[in-house]
Amino acid sequence: MILHFSVFFWSFIFFVGLVLVSQNPISASWSWYVLSVAPLILVSLTASRRLTERFSDAVLPMLLSVSSPMLLSLIDNSRERWVFVILSALMYYCALLGNYRLRHAPTDKTGEAFLNAAAMAAMFFFYAGLYGFYLNFSFPLWGLMLLYFFGTALTSYETFMGVDQKERTRVLLYSALLGLIMGEMVWVMSLWPFGYLTTGAIGAILFFIVWDISFDAFRKTLSLRKATPRIFFFLVLIFLLLFSSPWRILV
């Protein structure tokens, strides 16, 4: 069942919260960000508790709650803000629905697909929003690397737990490795002359590559014949992004 009233209800509250954030004057201050994010985080915790009875399932909805206002603050066009708010609410719905279905049917492939789709979108929002914040404000690179590490590790943990909840040690190891990889990658990407959207998209693609390989390894279905075409396709996609993106002049 794709349409679920309780999931829709909490997603609608998230949507209303983002609309209120987008309608209020956006300022580059910690007070604005905390006041924008805190209610959305509270909604995510409450929704996860009501839907799955586990606060651990709130990781992905909370990541969307943290990253959506951050990226929203970088969008100037009002129409683009509305599109982003609707897209964010849709991904929030997918995250809640994926967690709900996997909670009641751990082998549900549809729930797994919803959760993974929301994870990919959340990582793009997270990477792009954080990098935009890093470019526009005096934010240290080591702090950016730490946030990339924790955001990636927590998201990976939730998606891997959707596959197998018994091997927690293995899940923690894989999640930490992915976090370390993306934490190092943002250090490399900080040297590139590209804006936050291009860097966020490339970060999300790189995350998907290493996540996909790790996911297959976790399920013991990894093979060179299966992984090579995917890696090649996404590397070509990264090359096209780099080739077509405007360069940011470094001073």
Beta-bridge partners for 247: 194
CA 52 from centre of chain = 20
Contacts of 195 (CB under 8 A, 6+ apart): 132, 135, 245, 246, 248
Across residues 26-41, what is the average pLDDT? 75
180-236 tens-digit pLDDT: 999 998 998 888 777 888 888 888 888 988 888 887 777 777 777 777 787 787 788
Is the pLDDT at 107 greater than 80? The verdict is no
Q: What is the pTM of this model?
A: 0.85
- Give the whole-angstrom CA distance, residue 159 versus residue 157: 6
CA 210 from centre of chain = 15
- Give the whole-angstrom CA distance, residue 123 versus residue 205: 9
CA 47 vs CA 54, 57, 80, 92, 176: distances in Å: 10, 9, 27, 11, 26
49-103 tens-digit pLDDT: 888 887 778 888 999 998 888 888 888 888 888 999 999 999 999 999 988 888 8
* pLDDT for res 251: 44
Is the pLDDT at 33 greater than 60? The verdict is yes
Tokens of 45: 């915790």
Is the pLDDT at 20 greater than 50? The verdict is yes
Q: Indicate the range of 10-19, 63-72, 160-169 predicted with least confidence.
A: 160-169
